Amino acid sequence: MTRGEHMKAARKKAHLTLRQLQERSGVRYSIISALEREIHGPQLTTAEVLADALGISIDEYVGHKVKKKEGV
């Protein structure tokens, strides 16, 4: 699954439309849409705001899997 697909899946899992996420986060509709379509990647602050609006971590929002180091 691509980063944009993870972002869209996270929004849909929260049962939010693009407009609702815009209202909740303050991030413009066109930016959220562009991120989900992977026209460009998110700035860290934008990803943080959107993840907070969805109640999840940035890692979850972009689909990043944290690899655990052995012996740690």
Residue 58 lies in domain? 3-62
- For the stretch 4-37, pLDDT in tens is 898 999 999 999 999 999 999 999 999 999 999 9
The dihedral through the CA atoms of 60, 52, 21, 39 has a sign that is: negative
pTM: 0.79
What's the total number of domains in the chain?
A: 1
Kindly state whether residue 53 falls inside one of the protein's structural domains.
yes
- Per this entry, what is the length of the chain? 72
Kindly state whether residue 45 falls inside one of the protein's structural domains.
yes
For residue 62, what pLDDT is reported? 82
